[in-house]
Structures are given as structure tokens and as C-alpha cells.
Amino acid sequence: MSGKWIWEPTRDWTARTNVWCFMQKLGFTDRDAFLKYSSENPENFWDQMLRELGIEWFEPYTRVLDTSNGVEWSQWFLGGKLNIAWNCLDRHAGSPATREKAAVIWEGEDGLNLTHTFAQLSSEVNRLANGLQTLGLTQGDRVALVMPMVPEVVIILYACFKLGVIVVPIFAGFGAGAIATRLENSGTRVVFTADHAQRRGKVLPLKEKLDQALERPNAIEHVVVCRYKDGTVPWRGGRDIWWDDVLRGHLSERDAMPLDSEDRAFILYTSGTTGKPKGTVHTHAGCLAQMSKEIFLGFDHQPDDRFWWLSDIGWMMGPWTIIGNHNLGGTIFMYDGAPDYPGPDRLWQMIERHGITTFGISPTAIRLLMRAGAPNQEMRSLRLLGSTGEPWDDTSYVWFFENVGRGRCPIINISGGTEIVGSFLFPLPIQPLKPCTLGGPAPGMATEVVDESGRPVRGKKGYLVCTQAAPSMTRGVWGDPARYIETYWSRWPGVWYHGDWASVDEDGCWFLHGRADESMNVAGRKVGPAEVEDALIEHPSVSEAAVIGVPDELKGEAIVAFVVPKTGVTVTAEFEEQLSLHLINSLGPTFKPQAVRAVRELPKTQSGKIVRRLLRQKYLGEPLGDLSTVENPAALDSL
């Protein structure tokens, strides 16, 4: 092994991979040539890819891609009818070869274990789908999840898909304000939750937090509550229903509705630099195509794999794990609990106990766990590692590779986003790896790094973009098509701008370097400054607010807030701590600020726009640069 490469595949390893076999079917033995073909011939590639993935259609599509309304509004697999629930559940539950295979293995923080076979899962899904129909839900309605990471979330997903109902996953760790914003924007009619959540041995209110969110304007007609812990919760008659009561008396049979390829499956929320969170819109065909491709090619899915990605259902990686693996008849593992409770070896024990073959995690979680030292467990079942959410640092990456993968498992470091329910970049398991690399463009993704003028660059930092449409790209921003165009397609005509810094080195290895816009990546969770600032301004003592992201040893990036108090407010340490708690209550503990600073005024342009760049540079002690556009540069002195 040469000094700069941390892992290299053997010839035997390469020959056994799915991607190598697929490449040979297409006539390729060179990875770069295969990737070039996949990006320059999207219709041929995706048509062949779907056949390789075994995706089944009720009616076959007659055309792969239609860009007649512009690349921004591309449509895929026109004329085809399918359903995620059929592909991921029904056909496996109906097959003698897979009906008794474990679809979901689950462990709770308290050590409880549950297993659902495809047949068992199908029975529960069908009962819930029939129950939801009696609540009056029809195709196109929205159903939200504010749930712990428990098996019921899988049942909810597939039951909704069967009816053509759109699923709105919401991170259960959000505060009431963030939950309320997403429920209101999506127009959700039914929301699922649990009585309580659990973390580090403590039972935490969840239904009660949702009730607080529902005090704001919403379209909620019913709250379906799962008994997860003690079942003692506030209750509103006529609106609130126990999970068991929704299922009671309903048949365990239900056909999946044939849906158009472009019918919506999800609204997944992500943040931007301005305005409220963006509801990205995803289709049945797009989700199946992208998620399954990545599990099959990137993570080399094998029939006996047990796949675990440490994630919440409220983040893209939750649905991605479920759909991508289940379409291929695979087994997923789910865990609900803290990664280091009751001790720092909890994750490593579960990998050994359940024979996990593929394990994905965020860099932030590894930085937390490596403080306790190397695992004692061998974890011989592991074959591949995965990571996403934020850029790596060399020390943490190498620790993960050497101490969890024991130097033999490649790290499939992926990056894309909620906006595409998948990846722009990931290494293929047939290529050598350097520390922290993302390999290169994912198959079928016309990814590029460009300079300010939109020209490709190598050897230096540039902007990550995509120059062709892909099946999983969001079909807009829910309720705001103009914002969709402005956010993703306006910087360079016909080019998707993703907002990340990236680079390609002399060996063709791709790397990420953080956000190029003002969004913040806190512990792998993307949040826009506008949402945090709106939450701060809701406090009765705050007239204006601005937030920035700053480097943080554990989280990668942390929030620092600057607030202008209202006239007459006395600024004390207690005042700033009160605002920190207010932010936690609104957005959740993940977004606890590193610091809150009261200031007399915020630096603004002549048009009144807050210049966050200068706040960040001043706070970090960096040169301020050009101040010519700032109307009140003296505002920086008050920092």
C-alpha cells in the first residue's frame, strides 16, 4: 500500500462487487469511463440501472426523461405506475424465499429487542393502511411522523405509501416551534407520535411537546399515539387516538395503489439561508431509483447483509436506509437511544450482538466516541463502513477506519442532501481511498466542481454543482416554486447549485470543505440562519438577531447568536442564558448555541441586509476585508 492511500481493494474483492458486475454488463472495465457514460447518457444509464435493481412496475414507463419544461422541472419514467410499498414490502412478503426473512431488527436503549419479518411487517402495514382509510385519508393527503426510531415508523411509511399518502418525517428532537413550522407548512392532516421518548435512561415528554406545537395554526385532525413508555399523557378527545385503536378490527390484507412515477412520496424539510425551512418534494420512482442504486452499488448490498445507519427517521438517512435496503429484500437494524449509553461501547456491542455487516455514522458521533478509546470488540461481521452529514477531519476518519473497521473495511463516505434524497458523491467499493475522501461523482450524477464563473476547476476549492437532472431531485419547494428556482437553479443557468465547497486533487479524489452558503451544519444537522433567527426574535426581549456558524471540536460547527435587545431590557449573563434556553425549547437541544451575545446593533448593508460574514470574521478574529457595502461599520466595534 502506498503512503497516500489508506485502503485499496484486492482483485478478488473487486470481482465480487455489484458495481463491477454491473459495469461488465455495460461493457466497462474502467471506473472513470463507466462514470462518464452514466453522467453523459442519463436515460440509458437509469433505464439499465432500474432493471438491474429489479424495480417492478404495475405499468411500464414509456419514456425515461422529459425536460420539455426545462431541466429544473424534469420528469422521469413517464407513463409508468408503481408503488414503493409493493417493491419494498409486498413482493418480499409474498415470496416463499423472503417472507420469513427479518426485515427489521430493533433494539431499544433499555436492551429490549424485536424482530419483524417481511410477512409480519406486511400484516401490520395492511391493518394500519385500512385504519388510515377509515380516518378519511386519501391520495395526496399529508401524514407526519414525530416519532422515536422504533419499528412503527416503518409500518407508518409503507401504510401511507399504499394509499398514495405523502409522508412528512419530522425529527423528534426538534423543539415545539420547529415542529409547528413544518406541520403548518405541509398542511398535515394526521400526525403520529409516541407517549414519550427515552434518552440516557430518562423518559422525556414527546406527546406533550407535540401538543405545544399544535397550539399554533395547523390542519391536524388526528394525533395517533404509540404506547412506547408509560402511556400517561395529556389527552384531547376527538383528536387523539391510540395506535392500537387505529388498527383494531381491520383486515391484514391491502393492495398497494398503482401510482404514477411522479406521484409524491415524501415532503422532507431542509433549511436555507433565508425564510422558513424548505419542504423538498420527492416521488415514488425517484426515491426507489436513487436510494436503491446507492445501497446496491455504493454499499455493495448482499443477500445476507445486516445494514445499520445510526440515524433518526426525521433525517433523510432514516427513510434512505429503509427503502434502499428493503427494495433489495435486505435486513435493516434500528436503534433508539444514545450512542454512548450506558457506556461508550454500546454501539460496538450491538454490532457484535446482531452481526451487523454495514455500519454508517456521522463524524460528530465518532468524535464523541473516540474520547473513550478504541473498542475492545472485534466486530468481525463488518464488511463496509459508511459516513455522511459533514466533512471529516483526518484524525477522526483514521480512528474510525483503524479501530472500528480494523483497517480492512472501506469507508463509503457519501454526500448529497435532503434535496435529492441521496448522494452527489460517494466512493465505489472498487477504488482506493485516501483519508476523508468522498471518492468521486456517484454513478448517474453529473457532479462537478466549478469556480465563480461556473468553469470546472481542479486542485483548488470550488463550488459543488450538478449539470444534469437526476430522478431523485426535489420536484420543487412545497408551496413555493419560485424559491426552488432561486435556491438551486439561479446561480448558473441550467446548473444545480448545492451550496458546498469541494475540491478534486491530483489523483482524482474528491473532498468536501463545508458550506459555501450561510447554512450551518451542526452535528451533521443542517439548519439555516433564518430559522434560528426567527426563533430568537420570538422572545419578547429581542428586537433583532443574527446567527453564524463557528468551528467546534465535537459538533464540527456550532451556533453563535448576536441579539439586539428591546429598549429597556437589561443585559445580564442570565439574560443571555435565558435566550439560549429559549432557542433549545424552540429548535431542540441539538441546536444549543455555543454563545449568545447582546449587541447594540448589527452590521447591515444600505439595503438593510445583515452581513453575517463580518460577524463571523469579527468573532473569530479574522481580517474583516471590504467594508464598503456596510452602512454602519461601527456596529462591529460593539462586539
Q: Are residues 478 and 594 in the same domain?
A: no
The DSSP letter of residue 245 is: H
Q: Are residues 611 and 578 in the same domain?
A: yes
CB atoms within 10 A of CB 268: 28
Cell readout for 26 is: 455495460
Does residue 467 fall inside a structural domain? yes
Does residue 130 fall inside a structural domain? yes
First to last CA, the chain: 51
Per-residue model confidence (pLDDT) at position 625: 73
What CATH number should be reported for the domain holding residue 615? 3.30.300.30
Domain containing residue 436? 1-40+430-517
Task: Say which range, 190-194, 412-416, 434-438, 618-622, has the weakest mean pLDDT.
Answer: 618-622
Q: Are residues 125 and 28 in the same domain?
A: no
In whole angstroms, give the CA distance from residue 611 to residue 602. Answer: 8
Cα 257 to chain center, whole Å?
A: 26
Q: Are residues 473 and 540 in the same domain?
A: no
CA–CA–CA angle 489, 81, 285 (5° rounding):
35
Q: Are residues 452 and 587 in the same domain?
A: no
Cell readout for 37 is: 457514460
Residue ranges of alpha helices (H) inside 98-206 are 118-134, 152-163, 176-186
Confidence category of residue 458, pLDDT binned at 50, 70, 90: very high
Q: Are residues 95 and 235 in the same domain?
A: yes
Does residue 536 fall inside a structural domain? yes
In whole angstroms, give the CA distance from residue 84 to residue 162. Answer: 8
In whole angstroms, give the CA distance from residue 441 to residue 509. Answer: 10
Tens of pLDDT along 283-338?
Answer: 999 999 999 999 999 999 999 999 999 999 999 999 999 999 999 999 999 999 99
Q: How many domains does the chain have?
A: 3
Does residue 18 fall inside a structural domain? yes
Question: Taking phi first (over 0 means left), then psi (-120 to 50 degrees means alpha), and beta for anything else, what does residue 235 get?
Answer: beta
Residue ranges of alpha helices (H) inside 187-276 are 207-213, 243-247
What CATH number should be reported for the domain holding residue 96? 3.40.50.980
In whole angstroms, give the CA distance from residue 133 to residue 629. Answer: 57
Q: Are residues 626 and 542 in the same domain?
A: yes
Task: Say which range, 313-317, 377-381, 617-621, has the weakest mean pLDDT.
Answer: 617-621
Q: Are residues 460 and 540 in the same domain?
A: no
* 383 compared with 622, residue with greater pLDDT: 383
Confidence category of residue 608, pLDDT binned at 50, 70, 90: low
Q: Are residues 451 and 526 in the same domain?
A: no
Tell me which of 471, 497, 517 is where a domain ends: 517
Who's near 490: CB < 8 A, 6+ residues apart? 497
Which burial class, exposed, middle or buried, applies to 426 when counting CB atoms under 10 A from its CB (0-12, 13-18, 19+)? buried
Does residue 502 fall inside a structural domain? yes
In whole angstroms, give the CA distance from residue 303 to residue 107. Answer: 22
The answer to whether residue 236 scores a pLDDT higher than 70 is: yes
Tens of pLDDT along 131-160?
Answer: 999 999 999 999 999 999 999 999 999 999
In whole angstroms, give the CA distance from residue 207 to residue 211. Answer: 6
* 194 compared with 609, residue with greater pLDDT: 194
Q: Are residues 31 and 179 in the same domain?
A: no
Tell me which of 469, 502, 517 is where a domain ends: 517
Q: Are residues 534 and 509 in the same domain?
A: no
Tell me which of 449, 483, 517 is where a domain ends: 517
Confidence category of residue 9, pLDDT binned at 50, 70, 90: very high
Tens of pLDDT along 40-82?
Answer: 999 999 999 999 999 999 999 999 999 999 999 999 999 999 9
3-class SS string, 94-123: CCCCCCCCEEEEEEECCCCEEEEEHHHHHH
Does residue 184 fall inside a structural domain? yes
Tens of pLDDT along 165-192?
Answer: 999 999 999 999 999 999 999 999 999 9
Tens of pLDDT along 253-283?
Answer: 999 999 999 999 999 998 766 678 999 999 9
CA–CA–CA angle 96, 102, 103 (5° rounding):
100
In whole angstroms, give the CA distance from residue 601 to residue 125. Answer: 55
Per-residue model confidence (pLDDT) at position 628: 63
Task: Tell me the mean pLDDT in the region 568-592.
Answer: 89
Per-residue model confidence (pLDDT) at position 607: 58
In whole angstroms, give the CA distance from residue 449 to residue 446. Answer: 10
Q: Are residues 607 and 509 in the same domain?
A: no
**pTM of the predicted structure, to 2 decimals:** 0.90
Helix (H) or strand (E) holding 549: strand 542-552
Does residue 500 fall inside a structural domain? yes
Does residue 242 fall inside a structural domain? yes
Mean of all residue pLDDT scores within the chain? 94
